Structure formats: structure tokens, C-alpha cells
Chain A
Amino acid sequence: MGNLLANYEEAAAIILFGIGFTTLLLHRNLIKKVIGFSMMDSAIYLFLAAKGYIAGRRAPIAAAGALSAADYINPIPAGLVLTGIVVSVSVTALMLALTVRLYRRYHTLDIDEITRQARREED
């Protein structure tokens, strides 16, 4: 299985991603779909943070004196995760607002029921 056991953190991130994806696909409740989506986001952050980690090194906060790249972990994934978190907050808020609007109109959170009612309105 190659590096699967050594890469346990990435593997955990992937499994979390899969759980989120399954939630997104299998649940008909819109709120649960949003939760699944957020889980996928978090899994990606875990994956990125794991990619930046280097065993035995410190967080990228410089100490006094000369700096050497061999002392610190990689700061780039941290910046990427920051960007990702902000975007996922925005996307989650937008999805929840759309859910609120759908609920106000159809009085249900079931996506199939909403589709059925919307189709009936179209006819």
C-alpha cells in the first residue's frame, strides 16, 4: 500500500472528504447537504495543513537571530488554508440563505419535494 500508513493524516483527510461527499449525495435535506459540503471543505484544510507540516520543526514565527529554512515548517499551506476558510464561510452563508428562501416558498427542506412542487408550478 505504499505510503498509506505513513500518510495517515492525509488519509484521514480523504476519508473525511468522502464522508462529506456521501452526506452531500445521499441526504435529501438541504441543511444536511450544506453540512456535507462544509465537511468536504474542512477535509481539504486538513489535507493542506498536513502537506505543510515537517516533523520536528517549529511554527513559522521567526525567533531572534539568523533564520534558516531548516528550522520552520512551510508557511505557504497556512496562507492557502486561510483563503479557503474565508471563501467557504461565504459559500456556506450563501447556500444557507438560498435554503431559507426555498423554505419560505415551499415550506419544506426536502429537495425532491421542492423539485416536485416547482415542476407542478411550471405546468
Chain B
Amino acid sequence: MIEGITVYDVLAVSTIIFFIGIFGFVTRKNLISLLISTELMLNAVALNFVIFNKFLYPGQIQGYVFSLFLIAVAAAEVALAIAIIISLYRMDNSVDADDMDTLKG
């Protein structure tokens, strides 16, 4: 562990990553960018698990295990999302999120 780095510093990093994700999710139009943004948010959360485990309960491993689960879930989710994006692309010949409004009620 690097000396002088506190839990606040690492939390600041994860928070920054998380909001970068949100910013990207709101501003980008490309579906792939949106997917990347959600992955950023997910990773920020996974980082939080590791940090809290490290600093608050050093003797236990639940946080680490949970972050491993998160990675696995994220992988599965990406596979699904990519599949959806590809089929949308085949349908509309576009990956622009503003072109998609099939969810409209």
C-alpha cells in the first residue's frame, strides 16, 4: 500500500469515474459510448467495494468477492448490450441513440 493515500483520496477517484460515466451517458449519442459510460459507472462501484473492504474491514474478503461478481455480471451485460446494439443497427442502419424511439408509448 502506498503511504499517505487515504480512503478519501481513493473515494474521490471512484466518484470522479462515476460522474464521468454519468456525463458520458447523458451527453453522448452513440450507443457504444453509452455502453462505455455505463461500464465506467459500474467500475466505479466495483472500486468502492474494494476500497471499503480494504480500509474498513481489512480481515474480510466479501468486498473483493463482490467486485469479482460485478466484473462477471458486467461481462455478461456487455455481451447482451452489444447484441442488442447490433440488431438495432441491422434494423435502422444507425447506432445513434436519438434515432431510436421504439420505446415510445
Are A and B subunits of one complex?
no
